[in-house]
Amino acid sequence: MTQARLKGGSGVHERSIQSRRVVLNYRAKGVICDYIASLGCVPPADQYLFRSRSGANRPISQSQAYRILKDLCRECAIDATRISTHSPRKSVVRAIYDVSGHDLVRTQRIVQHASPLTAARYLESKAKLGTG
């Protein structure tokens, strides 16, 4: 993966690029293991796990991820009118905020936002939907 594709890796607001690890819970690990098993072989570490059908070792596009998410919502009878590819992250931020006893600074650190204000914006957007 090139640095330009990492968060903060391009544009006028370019920041120093830092890699990060994201801890997955056991259910997420299980689903990913099932997906890898369905591929028939374990992809090499330098290959994208969710590859595009066009070109060698290219990730799926944000548009394709959006279509997949919308299709899954329809299959599960979930109203997808306010769903985006960023919705799961917003849900995780809300869950962490609730579990932390509504500690905004702790939430900001866990989700690795640069500022507590960024985490607060994630929470505001859910509150506006009437689910926060």
User: What are the pLDDT digits (tens) for 36-74?
Assistant: 999 888 888 888 888 888 877 888 888 999 999 999 999
Whole-number Cα distances in Å, 55 to 38, 48, 58, 95, 106: 21, 12, 6, 37, 41
Q: What is the pLDDT of residue 54?
A: 80
Residue 17 CA: distances (Å) to CA of 9, 10, 64, 96, 107: 6, 10, 26, 25, 21
pLDDT of residue 126: 47
pLDDT digits (tens, 9 = 90+) for 86-121: 888 888 899 999 999 999 999 999 888 888 998 999
Encoding tokens for residue 110?
A: 């866990």
| Structural contact between residues 17 and 6, judged by C-beta atoms closer than 8 angstroms | yes
For the record, the structure tokens of 13 come out as 């607001």
Q: Say if pTM beats, i.e. exceeds, 0.85.
A: no
Q: Does residue 85 register a pLDDT over 80?
A: yes
